[in-house]
Amino acid sequence: MTETFLCTLIVLLSGMMVVSCSEETVDSGKFQLYYSDVTDIGPSMSMTLYAPTYIGAKPYDFEITRVMLDGAAVQTESFGIDKETGAIIIANTSQLAIGNYALSVACKSAGKHYAFEDIVHVNMMRTVPEGIVATPNKIDVKYEDVLSKSISDLPTSAITTDGNHIHITKYVVANVRHEGELVENDELFAVSDAGVVSFGNKHQNLKPGKYVIDMKLTTAVVDAESTEGLFANAIEVNVASKPLSLAYDPNFSKVEQGTEEPTKTVIPVMVGSREGLKYSVKSVVPANAPVSIDATTGELTLAKNSLAVGTECKVAVTVTNAYGSTDFAQAYTFTIVPLIHAITKFAYEPTVELIEGAALTQKVKAIAGDEVKYSFKDLPTALVGKLNINAQTGEITADKGNGIAQGNYTINVVAENPKGSMTATFTLKVIKNKYLFTYVHWGNNIGLSPVRNYASQYRIKSAAPLVMKVQSTDIQSGVEAEYSIDTKNSSTTDVTIDSHTGEITFNKWQGGKVFMVLVVTTTGKGTSAEVTVKTPVFVHCSKAVKGVSVDYTPFVLQVNPRTGGISNAPTVSGGKQGKFLMDYRRSFNYYNIGGPASHVTGVLKGGVTNTFMYAMWKNYYGSAAVNAGARKPVSYYDNQGALNTTLCYVDATKDCAVQVNANKWIVDQEYANGVFIGQMTFTNDGNVGSVAKGSQIFPLAIWFDTNFK
């Protein structure tokens, strides 16, 4: 039997966000599959996306069942999938059409077949037009200057065109790589509206070495529409430094006297530029100790020797690069001992129980032997990257929200020293998290059915208190839940909630306005398996304003910001036929539910530049000055002939249905996951010039979530 689930945001105690996508499955179990968010690629790029995480039994036999390009099915060999792990393989993209690809994936789990529509999203971008350059495209800066100087005193690079045929309207730092590895651009670098790339507010967090910056640009060739493209390898920033630190972990080892085999160390971690990098032994005490070093990696080797028991062989290392040399005294110590005991005993608890999604710390139960190093042997694929081991202590850990599915796993750990090795085996038993749930719903009173397909929403027509009770939830019977209101991200504080039952009492009244209350539901509070779900609940105070009432049904428009959407037309009572006009005007509010911290809740206001709404206005205006007092980014009448440039608008040609444009509600490369409520004004005289000064209402809320269909 096929069952459909509504998308819901789950926040585990660890802070991991899990999104349950709408899915079709042959049974009604709790198996769920999760891929990362949208991935940007360019022509001729190849990559493998991370394998998905999941809840339930380990999935297998993956296949891609459908590929959609901007909503239409296409045939392409550019996307493949690892049948065992589910990792998406992207290759042969030189002829791949530009656009947004949505991949549907099917798999099996515990003998059952599951299908997930449009679960993987890939944005195939154009390369930027020829003639766009970064000047300079290479920046050299001393590490000490990065630490000590202000942004204004550090060098910059300007993204420009070499002629007048191309116009750049938007600049975004797309990717940052340090020595070839992708790193998060947490204000390390920034770009201005004029295309000047500079060091960011947290540039002191930069490390020595080479950074490569990719830029995402919105450009327009003369007489053509704007397009978005990737300017790969736009700028190279070389943060130059001599070797600053050298660390072997551990920085010591014991060596049995007279051992025949050479003793090798771990490869050290060096902080400093890697240009011309070379390691050498500065000194050894005692001088006759046969110590050598790998000049490329820094690995030390103590050869066969006749050193006396108790000798501490102390090694100083010199590290040289293109910017200088640094000596590191006592970088490593070999200690000669009479005997290294072989490993004769090694064990963990035979069965280790882990609650699904909870953290794990498991120590070695018994060990007898010296100089032991620990490692996994044949770790199950489903645990790779989720289960960790300390090579020095053997302690095994997993983070909260680790994504390890229910089931029994055989774990083999090897303990090894110069005398040999021993393997310990135990069973990791991952049990169901009884606190796990996906939704709470308060229903509606406006006849919307099926109820779960719509937001919790109530329309009231008077100033009496409104009581809303929980109508449905998948919290297990017998599990206690704690309910609270997130007042910071709600549009009113005139509301109370019973912390045990979830019963909401709404005490606010303002005619013609929609309010949103963000309810936080927590199960297993205080335990390692704690689960939290955030649910917006909406109330519309329906009342005629200047003799006119405007009622959208539903009055919450649920929109996927990737694809956009349109509301139903409202019922307008008291409006004059052919004379009623309405548009967005002012008081534009955004309330963050599940977006990143940079999507700051707040109202659009001049001088307040850190809010999500200000960033949206900035996206609209591009390189032009932001007018925070203007309605233009969401206005129908200010954009006739260019409605595709707006964020959203009240469509006068469709009886005031609200249209939300696709791929507009995105900041810091993260789509909106929250609620937008803005004031509309209307007139009954048919005069477009009267709309902006017309009667004021807030009749509609727009709820954004990338999992809405």
- Cα gap 436→12, rounded to integer Å: 9
Summarize the confidence of residues 50-63 as an average pLDDT: 82
- Tokens found for residue 196: 């000047």
Q: Do 242 and 324 meet the contact criterion of CB atoms below 8 Å apart? A: yes
User: In this structure, what DSSP letter does residue 548 have?
Assistant: B
Residue 18 has pLDDT above 50, yes or no: no
Of 161-175, 414-428, 430-444, 560-574, where does mean pLDDT reach its minimum?
Answer: 161-175
- Tokens found for residue 235: 């700028």
Which of helix, strand or coil describes residue 560?
coil
pLDDT digits 0-9 by tens, 377-429: 999 988 988 899 998 999 999 988 888 988 999 999 999 998 899 999 999 99
- Cα gap 103→63, rounded to integer Å: 10
Residue 112 has pLDDT above 70, yes or no: yes
Of 216-225, 519-528, 535-544, 693-702, where does mean pLDDT reach its minimum?
Answer: 216-225
In sequence order, what are the residues at sequence separation of 6 or more whose Cβ sits closer than 8 angstroms to the Cβ of residue 16?
A: 400, 401, 403
- Residue 197's nearest CA partner among 145, 236, 223, 230 is 236
In sequence order, what are the residues at sequence separation of 6 or more whose Cβ sits closer than 8 angstroms to the Cβ of residue 21?
A: 7, 32, 33, 34, 116, 117, 119, 707
Task: Give residue 179's region: left, alpha or beta (phi > 0; psi -120 to 50).
Answer: left
pLDDT at residue 80, as a whole number = 92
Whole-model pTM: value is 0.60
* Other CB atoms within 10 Å distance of the CB of residue 112: 14
Cα Rg, the chain, nearest whole Å: 30
Of 291-305, 546-560, 618-632, where does mean pLDDT reach its minimum?
Answer: 618-632
Task: Kindly indicate the confidence band of residue 529, based on its pLDDT and cuts at 50, 70 and 90.
Answer: confident
pLDDT at residue 407, as a whole number = 92
Counts of helices then strands in the chain (DSSP H, E) = 2, 63
Q: Do 563 and 647 meet the contact criterion of CB atoms below 8 Å apart? A: no
Residue 27 has pLDDT above 50, yes or no: no
Summarize the confidence of residues 244-252 as an average pLDDT: 94
Asked if the bond preceding 52 is cis, omega within 30° of 0, the reply is no
- Tokens found for residue 66: 């459908």
pLDDT at residue 22, as a whole number = 35
Q: What is the CA 483 to chain-centroid distance, rounded?
A: 26
Residue with token string 């959407």: 565
pLDDT at residue 31, as a whole number = 78
- Tokens found for residue 413: 């750990």
- Cα gap 356→359, rounded to integer Å: 9
pLDDT at residue 167, as a whole number = 75
Burial tier of 1 (Cβ tally within 10 Å: 0-12, 13-18, 19+):
exposed
* Torsion 644-647-652-656 (CA) sign: positive
In sequence order, what are the residues at sequence separation of 6 or more whose Cβ sits closer than 8 angstroms to the Cβ of residue 254?
A: 334, 335, 336, 337, 340, 370, 371
Residue 450 has pLDDT above 50, yes or no: yes
- Residue 200's nearest CA partner among 213, 184, 187, 210 is 187
Summarize the confidence of residues 595-601 as an average pLDDT: 92
- Residue 272's nearest CA partner among 293, 238, 297, 245 is 245
User: In this structure, what DSSP letter does residue 363 have?
Assistant: -
In sequence order, what are the residues at sequence separation of 6 or more whose Cβ sits closer than 8 angstroms to the Cβ of residue 130?
A: none
Q: Domains (ranges, CATH) in the chain?
A: 8-124 (2.60.40.2710), 127-240 (2.60.40.2710), 245-337 (2.60.40.60), 345-431 (2.60.40.10), 434-543 (2.60.40.2720), 544-709 (2.60.40.2730)
Which of helix, strand or coil describes residue 61?
strand
Residue 599 has pLDDT above 60, yes or no: yes
pLDDT digits 0-9 by tens, 332-353: 999 999 999 999 999 999 999 9
531-541 and 8-12 strand pairing: antiparallel
Q: Do 277 and 267 meet the contact criterion of CB atoms below 8 Å apart? A: no
pLDDT at residue 98, as a whole number = 82
pLDDT at residue 220, as a whole number = 65
- Cα gap 150→135, rounded to integer Å: 21
- Tokens found for residue 111: 């003998």
Residue 205 phi, psi (nearest 5): -85, -5
CA angle 559, 565, 568 (to 5 degrees): 100
pLDDT at residue 384, as a whole number = 84
Residue with token string 């660390």: 247
- Cα gap 176→174, rounded to integer Å: 7
